[in-house]
Structure 1
Amino acid sequence: MKTDYHNHLEKGELTLDYLKQFTDQAKAKDIEHFGISEHAYHFYQTKDILSNPWVDARRYYDMEDYVSLFHQAWDANIDVKMSIEMDYTPGKHQEMKHFIEQYDFDYVIGSIHWVGDFGIDLAEFRAEWDKRDLYDTYRGYYDQVITLAESNLFDIVGHLDLVKIFKYVPEDESFLLEQYDRATTALANSKTCVEISTAGLRKPVGELYPDPRLLKMCYDKKIPIVLSSDAHEPDHVGADFDQAIDFAKSAGYTSLMTFEKGKRKEVPLG
């Protein structure tokens, strides 16, 4: 079995024709469990959760149209899961919970893209990496991984070590392993799965998420996994999944978690 649960329509339109380009690619790559998880910040309904000038300039969808698209797909016998990728926002647990509970999502991804006012994965903010203390940024990032897990609002944590995207990585390995350890301990005590994401291979860091040492800690603490491509265009659906599967197996994994209407089921990895 293969999953691809982290995908975006934002470069196109919320139309059945565009969605079908993604699902056709998933079918061609023998991905049995496929989902769309658009960024929640694109929707007008999340303005009370995350709001800043960068985000607000990119808020242009209505959830009614998003949900309607999935119903059109299901009516056309297209097998696609309905999800959302939420920017985990400290101090907004009640607002996030209220938003999530309004919709019949198959699963919900929680991701961290902001450490305070710092958009860590955005090209527009890249120069900030040389102005800020690297260790403070990493500590702040993993602080949020912990509270994301403790919130128990999310089924999957997206690209667990996204903070490495531009190759800014602490040289002190003991510090890094400490962050990994405390994050995985929190995740192990939650319902949150970890995705192996091939998106990192297409980013400056040039490697899978998460780091092999971090994935091994996930396995040792019995944290379930899913596979994801984080495709923002149809051609990237299922990209480099041969590497992702080998990577999962090298850490010891033999199974994946699947989702349907919030219910989870473990299936063999293959």
Structure 2
Amino acid sequence: MRDFHVHSNYSDGEFLRSMAQAAASAGLEGVGFADHCNVATRDHHASMRSVYGFNLDLTYERRRRGIERLREEFSLEIYDAVEMDYDPRDEAAIDAFLSAAGFDYAIGSVHDVDGQNVQVSSHFDSMSEAERDAVVDTYFEQLVALVESELFEIAAHVDLLERTPPLRGRATDDHYRRVARAFAESRTIPEVNAGRALSDADIVHPSDRFLSILREYDVAVTVGTDSHRPSELPDRAAFLADFVDETGLEPVDPDGLAA
């Protein structure tokens, strides 16, 4: 098994070597470092870059040297990847960065709708039902645009808003089918993400219903623990191994690794 989605101290995770050691100890064949990056220049995103360090565009070459040293030390595949925040307005900047950087593969994710992180409940607590539904509509519109952009090999946690109580359960089969059709016509594949699977939230992305619809459209999937700390990785990897076995899924490698 390979884990294509972990983070390191080059965004909001822990040291590269500690994460690689955890992957090796868990018996994985490979691990992919996909640290967060945002190349938007709007004020909100510029602030996020400085506060959270989502600036791999400035540090990826230094991280790449660290990854090369780990490849010499560990007998597992170690991938040099990135998780990009996606907004349709930033497609040209994202494309330019990815083309120049030459990562093994790129993950795209939608975290914000109209400048509000969809994981933060307080952004949506005071909204009306109609306003919350509009946020969900916009989230899935951006997700479809992400898939259709063909910028990424993987789309991360494709129903991220299920983590957020005011938005949870508002997605419809129509939302899911629009996304599934986009995936079916794209090189981009969704991941099965275990980032909240073993938490009190008990959420696997995509949800059972969403995953069922993706399978209707014969959409392939890959897997990622979305681990930020070494202690998270072994249990999440074991969970994913059991999950794919129980569901009969056959995860695939990102296309970028086949080149």
Q: Could you state the TM-score of these two structures normalised by the residue count of structure 2?
A: 0.85
Q: Distance in 2 between matches of 1:162 and 1:198?
A: 12
Which of 79, 82, 89 matches 1:81? 79
Which of 30, 33, 38 matches 2:35? 38
Q: For residues 168-187 of structure 1, what are the structure 2 equivalents within 5 Å? A: 168-169=166-167, 176-187=172-183
Q: Distance in 1 between matches of 2:105 and 2:10?
A: 22
Question: Is 1:159 matched up with 2:157?
Answer: yes
What is the deviation of 1:86? 0.3
Partner of 2:48: 54
User: Contact 1:196–1:226 at 8 Å: present in 2 too?
Assistant: yes
One-letter amino acid of the structure 2 residue matched with residue 160 of structure 1: V
Q: Distance in 2 between matches of 1:230 and 1:171?
A: 22
Count, aligned residues: 251
Q: What's the CA shift string for 1:195-247, capped at 9, x where partnerless?
A: 11111225563211110011111122122111211111011114334443444
Partner of 2:90: 92
Q: For residues 188-207 of structure 1, what are the structure 2 equivalents within 5 Å? A: 188-202=184-198, 205-207=201-203
Instruction: Give the CA RMSD over aligned residues.
Output: 2.7
- Structure 2: any 5+ residue segments left out of the alignment? none
One-letter amino acid of the structure 2 residue matched with residue 108 of structure 1: A
Question: Is 1:239 matched up with 2:235?
Answer: yes
Partner of 1:268: none
SS in 1 for 2:17: helix
Q: Distance in 2 between matches of 1:12 and 1:63?
A: 11
One-letter amino acid of the structure 1 residue matched with residue 61 of structure 2: E
Q: Distance in 2 between matches of 1:13 and 1:134?
A: 28
Q: Distance in 2 between matches of 1:182 and 1:84?
A: 26
Question: Is 1:257 matched up with 2:256?
Answer: no
One-letter amino acid of the structure 2 residue matched with residue 226 of structure 1: T
One-letter amino acid of the structure 1 residue matched with residue 230 of structure 2: P
Q: Distance in 1 between matches of 2:172 and 2:121?
A: 21
User: Contact 2:194–2:225 at 8 Å: present in 1 too?
Assistant: yes
User: Contact 2:79–2:104 at 8 Å: present in 1 too?
Assistant: yes
SS in 1 for 2:206: coil
Q: What's the CA shift string for 1:139-182, capped at 9, x where partnerless?
A: 1110011000000111111111111112334656xx61111111
Q: Could you state the TM-score of these two structures normalised by the residue count of structure 1?
A: 0.82
- Structure 1: any 5+ residue segments left out of the alignment? 266-270
Question: Is 1:131 matched up with 2:126?
Answer: yes
SS in 2 for 1:222: coil
